[in-house]
Amino acid sequence: MPPKRVTGFFTKYGDGGTDINPLFRLNKRQGKQLLAALGCPEHLYKKAPTADLEDDRPSLPDEAALGVTYDNIDDYLEGKTLDASVAKIIEGWYIRTEHKRRTPITVFDDFWKKS
């Protein structure tokens, strides 16, 4: 699962709204390795990612907003040992942004019915 899917750090129906996503299983580290192997200019994939999701803090790096680095997230996804406080931050993002990984509700859903 890519780091943005874990943290929910994407815009619903923005960069998360695609019909096909061939790179879905790549984490940030693997994506950079692929771009390097394909000969992509380094300045394109070594630039610090910014989402510009926060009105009062434009150009804030993703890692500053998330409170963890993408290397931390990649390590977590690869099953490497992390400091418990870092894992807690990553898991917190995952829980808080669960709605971004759900299919939109339709008129055919029965979420409103009581069991």
CA atoms 45, 50, 52, 53: torsion sign: positive
d(CA 64, CA 68): 7
Domain of 68, in residue numbers: 3-101
Examine residue 107 and state whether it is found in any structural domain, yes or no.
no
Q: pLDDT tens digits, residue range 96-110? A: 988 888 877 888 888
Examine residue 53 and state whether it is found in any structural domain, yes or no.
yes
Examine residue 106 and state whether it is found in any structural domain, yes or no.
no
Question: Residue 77, Cβ neighbours under 10 Å: how many?
Answer: 19
d(CA 105, CA 82): 36
Examine residue 90 and state whether it is found in any structural domain, yes or no.
yes
Examine residue 42 and state whether it is found in any structural domain, yes or no.
yes
Which of 35 and 103 is assigned the larger pLDDT? 35
Q: pLDDT tens digits, residue range 38-84? A: 999 999 999 998 877 667 777 889 999 899 999 999 999 999 999 99
Q: Are 49 and 61 in contact (CB under 8 A)?
A: yes
d(CA 41, CA 27): 19
Examine residue 48 and state whether it is found in any structural domain, yes or no.
yes
Domain total of the chain? 1
Kindly report whether the global pTM for this prediction surpasses the value 0.75. yes
Examine residue 112 and state whether it is found in any structural domain, yes or no.
no
Tell me the residue length of the chain: 115
CATH code: domain of residue 85: 3.40.50.620
Give Cβ neighbours of residue 90 (< 8 Å, ≥ 6 apart): 6, 7, 68, 72, 73, 76, 82
Q: Are 80 and 87 in contact (CB under 8 A)?
A: no
CA 84 to chain CA mean position, Å: 20
